[in-house]
Structure 1
Amino acid sequence: MNAGPGARPGPPQSKADYVYASLLDDLRNARISGGTPLRATEIAQRLGVSITPVREALRRLENDRLIRYEQNHGATVIDLSAEALVEYYNVRAVVEGLGARLAADHITREQLDSLWARHEQMVADEKAGRYDTLGEQSREFHLAITDIGGPAFLGGHARAVRNSFPVPAHASLWLDPDQARNHLTVHEQLLKALQAGDGAAAERIMIDHVRFSGHYRRTRD
């Protein structure tokens, strides 16, 4: 039986992956806020696993700089500052902008068709008022472009950057109908630049697009 749209991700190939994905989903959707202590025994009981995979997942979250260990306090979710938010979006703009520039140089017809299909699905969802689906689709759209431009390094780096500062679903600009329509227009412009092989335009559009998202988030927080 398939899980519903609001279901927690099920166990993938390992229990540590399951715990990591579950905690990352909680952080991304602000179910666990900054400054919250994370107790391994409580997490293990809640997710129905032993302590070992929980400890492994917590180490991965520490490497992602989402939690920190303090003497006598254990693991605590990092409460990131406004300055960190600015840095996050600027790093994203550089990495994803470079990915778009490189993608324009060697994108294939099949890859371009796949990106257009993603975009058309987002347009259909926006018209149907399914705004809650757009944020994750946009994330996959951006990462797909970065993967095309930099399959060896950039794609993985873009994911690491995004995972280091999860954006809560309620803070997504895609929930704002006006912003959703504007950003779909930008996505279309980006696709046209990729189609034309115009790397400079693709990079500029992506950088401006990501930085605008950062400005929106800062003014909303």
Structure 2
Amino acid sequence: MPKPGRTRAEACRPTPGAPQPMSEMDAPPKSRTAYVLDRLKADLQQGVINPGDQLRQTAIAKRYGVSPTPVREALRILAADGTIEYTSHRGATVRDFTPEMAQDLYRMRAELEGLACEVAAERMTDEGYAAIVAANDRLVRATAEGTEPATLSLLNKDLHFTIYESTSSVMIEGIQLLWARFKPSVTLWGVTEFSRALDHDHDAILEALGRRDGPAARAAMHAHVMHAWELRQTSEELRATGPVSGDAPGSAAS
């Protein structure tokens, strides 16, 4: 009920300086762009949008409930990081990987993750190493129990990034960008022989880390990543549905 001396209209007016609810469309343009970017990344990650798909601004705007402006800005950001490309006859499309690009991705991962493993060996604490061992134990146990590939893939990712926690944010972010190029449904962990081979690789990495032997840890991680590439080449299905552009943290890399 309005206070004495105030009309009902005055009573309904917002109190000056009081926080007011904000709808998605009331958010500043930067927030709307970030929202669209996150949605696009999630759709790429989950396979809703796939390599070669056209990205029409009006359709995306309608699906996400925004105007075309933040969609245009989000697509510009994805084009800048190589996730999508523009052509005169098709407009914006999700970039597809060639076999050469896929191999280059693995080689980049091998170099960067090998370096990260060496740095981790130099900097990690006893507690950090214990966390790595625990993450590896969870993966080995799940593999032995025949756990579904998607879960094994996530446990594998957890192991890798538990190692990298002993490095720096800039190194972790660089590795995340490379992992994000893999679709969650595309994983080596669905093949029993492959998962056992990768678990064996992890043992060599942990042994080197346990000795705090940086060069050996680097070599073991480099060999592990390239081993994953070699295993992928033995499977026609994995070769055909390999890495995919995207910028959300992926879980299928090995």
Give the TM-score band, short-chain normalised: 0.7 to 0.9
What amino acid is the match of 1:56?
Answer: E
Given the alignment, which residue of 130, 142, 161 partners 1:143?
161
What amino acid is the match of 1:129?
Answer: T
TM-score (norm 1): 0.81
Structure 1 128/162 Cα, relative in aligned 2: closer, same or farther at 3 Å?
A: closer
- Asked if 2 retains the 8 angstrom alpha-carbon contact of 1:193 and 1:201, the reply is yes
Cα deviation 1:74-125 (Å, max 9, x = unaligned): 2111111111011110010000001001110111122222222222222233
Aligned-partner SS, 2:86: strand
Aligned-partner SS, 2:92: strand
* Greater displacement, 187-196 / 42-51: 42-51
Q: Is residue 217 of structure 2 the alignment partner of residue 202 of structure 1? A: yes
List gaps (5 residues or longer) in structure 2: 1-30, 240-254
- Asked if 1 retains the 8 angstrom alpha-carbon contact of 2:198 and 2:228, the reply is no
Q: Which has the higher helix share?
A: 1
Cα deviation 1:142-183 (Å, max 9, x = unaligned): 23423423x0532222122333xx222333101112211221
Cα RMSD after superposing both structures:
2.4
* Greater displacement, 38-47 / 98-107: 38-47
Structure 1 48/117 Cα, relative in aligned 2: closer, same or farther at 3 Å?
A: farther
Aligned length: 206
Cα deviation 1:43-99 (Å, max 9, x = unaligned): 232233443443333233223211012235321111111110111100100000010
1:9 paired residue number: none
Identity of aligned residues (%): 33
* Greater displacement, 22-31 / 154-163: 22-31
Structure 1 117/50 Cα, relative in aligned 2: closer, same or farther at 3 Å?
A: farther
Give 1:24 shift: 2.7
Structure 1 64/202 Cα, relative in aligned 2: closer, same or farther at 3 Å?
A: same
Given the alignment, which residue of 137, 140, 148 partners 1:123?
140
Write the distance in 1 (CA, Å) between the matches of 2:41 and 2:197. 29
List gaps (5 residues or longer) in structure 1: 1-13
Structure 1 216/128 Cα, relative in aligned 2: closer, same or farther at 3 Å?
A: closer
1:160 paired residue number: 177
- Asked if 1 retains the 8 angstrom alpha-carbon contact of 2:33 and 2:70, the reply is yes
TM-score (norm 2): 0.71
1:110 paired residue number: 127
